[in-house]
Structure 1
């Protein structure tokens, strides 16, 4: 059995990790940490786990985590994991970090988007955890930087079409929408029920920190300079993410050719679903799952390819992909513990 611990277990991503890992046939939950709720049972904070997860919530303790864990999931805001991960690795743990701290191999790129990095030597050691794209590197990794939710949703449809040079990456436009859980569990006016229940708004227009992450991966995989206009929106839903990406084709391709290229690229990948002609993603079809649904349309008038993709931001966009990466690291079936289908209503 894999001994797994979750640091930051009472945030939305952390609690989702606990939910998924508690049903994983090859995992035993060892330790859950929470500074705010230390001393309480996890099921006291989340009563839905009553008689299912009775572990206490503890303060972060590197030594104890290293002794009781084979893998540690870091579900903390950026800037915190970079101070904790070095000692966990030295203690023999493998780490999957859900923050942005180890998503950039170049620490300078991280610093431009975030702040000075306090463990820059580990950035080149970390593997970017976009599971279906970097599977081979993830297998041997001791440190995985789990991708952001927007990058996951946007990169999965783009990369297989960009690598053969079919797309003009000098001008990519992405309009994306996310449910409110993407903002985290902390209380703020912007995510207050009265502020979002009947609202729909753009935020961080042209300056969202996921934009450099997306561009970095596009350029790393294709070797081409990429320019991305990225506008995220907040929709009055709890969870789910839908991205509509517009990009020019370098040469004329039919929708059937593009769809077949995506199917070939993801053949055998159970979580990527390439939808048939005239079918497009719906948030309700991926809710609670680790799936990414992808649809497309070619606008013949403008010559633009329109890619539409949807994920659950807390599962494929965070905790689910983190568990998928753990499965890859231990050479388990990638679907293990992740087979949930969405509720019908």
Structure 2
């Protein structure tokens, strides 16, 4: 087991995907971590250098199947496995291993709601009761005490960081929230899919999951907790022909007497001591290039022309703050490390 002087021995389950590669990239520079196991079912038996040549210069373990992992030699695992496969894997892990799950399998606290949206029964109901939702800025205590953390989805992270403080302080009305969101193609994963071919996505821009995207119940679950009442949002994701990045343009109705400047002031005060969330000055619109390859989130607030209307623009890197970076942030909290450890890199620009 790890102690105050030895590194945390981690495994990455699903290391051949984009989020797995991002975990490796960032953990290689984490002073408190040793990467001891990497799994990939279809790529098992290959060196990491063959799957991701940009990581070839580093002394990494080879890719193996999950059943080949020596669990007694690990303190923590990151699960970057496809949705629907993770519940049984995590339920079967030894109890000494702490887990950060990047799939959607444990994000919904209600197993019945999970079955409704994912088309099959929850396969680890008892374990679900122990899971902490890992939006770090809003659940540090839960993450600190948990053995299993459900890392939020990229769209929920981008949207919730902008909305939660405003609902908690009753600055906006819970009804009528519209989230118009866009993601880079890496958000669809690395598997070969016709709709993700260059000729299918290049020079185009399209909506998907219209009216029924699986991130809807996750967003509404957390907004409901913040508002203290049911919240239904209008959420539409779009695919943008870029590798990485995410933007949520959010339309809200402000409470009586509240202005866009008040919303900005509330968000600024809430995130003043947060290392990874910042609010832009009046009139400055965040862009995905402002956070690229970093664990940063950037939020801007603008008055709308409609009565009591405001527009909030939130951006993150979908692979970092929207996935692997936030996962490392949660691991740091779980093990009592400095929260920014391994995540200090500034955004890449241009």
Report TM bin, short chain.
over 0.9
1:145-180, Cα deviation, whole Å (9 max, x unpaired): 000000000000100010011211122111000000
CA–CA separation in structure 2 for the residues paired with 1:83 and 1:53: 30
Which residue matches 2:153?
A: 148
Which residue matches 1:86?
A: 91
1:27-79, Cα deviation, whole Å (9 max, x unpaired): 000100011111111112111112214310011027x4421211110001111
- Structure 2 spans left out of the alignment, 5+ residues: 1-6
Match of 2:283 among 278, 281, 290: 278
CA–CA separation in structure 1 for the residues paired with 2:226 and 2:139: 10
- Which structure 2 residues correspond to residues 1-345 of structure 1 after superposition, within 5 A? 1-61=7-67, 64-88=69-93, 90-114=94-118, 115-345=120-350
TM-score normalised by L of structure 1: 0.97
Runs in 1 of length 4+ with deviation above 6 angstroms? none
Contact 1:66 1:92 in 2 (8 A): no
CA–CA separation in structure 2 for the residues paired with 1:61 and 1:67: 13
CA–CA separation in structure 1 for the residues paired with 2:57 and 2:169: 51
Moved more, 23-32 or 218-227: 218-227
Aligned pairs, number: 343
Contact 1:22 1:53 in 2 (8 A): no
Moved more, 262-271 or 141-150: 262-271
Contact 2:286 2:300 in 1 (8 A): yes
CA–CA separation in structure 1 for the residues paired with 2:349 and 2:103: 31
CA–CA separation in structure 2 for the residues paired with 1:72 and 1:54: 16
- Structure 1 spans left out of the alignment, 5+ residues: none
CA–CA separation in structure 1 for the residues paired with 2:182 and 2:306: 25
Contact 2:256 2:308 in 1 (8 A): no
Secondary structure of 2:137's aligned partner = coil
CA–CA separation in structure 2 for the residues paired with 1:104 and 1:208: 14
CA–CA separation in structure 2 for the residues paired with 1:180 and 1:53: 29
CA–CA separation in structure 2 for the residues paired with 1:53 and 1:130: 32
CA–CA separation in structure 1 for the residues paired with 2:306 and 2:153: 33
Provide the aligned C-alpha RMSD in A.
Answer: 1.2
Secondary structure of 1:171's aligned partner = coil
Shift of 1:300: 4.6
TM-score normalised by L of structure 2: 0.95
CA–CA separation in structure 2 for the residues paired with 1:263 and 1:334: 20
1:313-343, Cα deviation, whole Å (9 max, x unpaired): 0000000000000011112111110111222
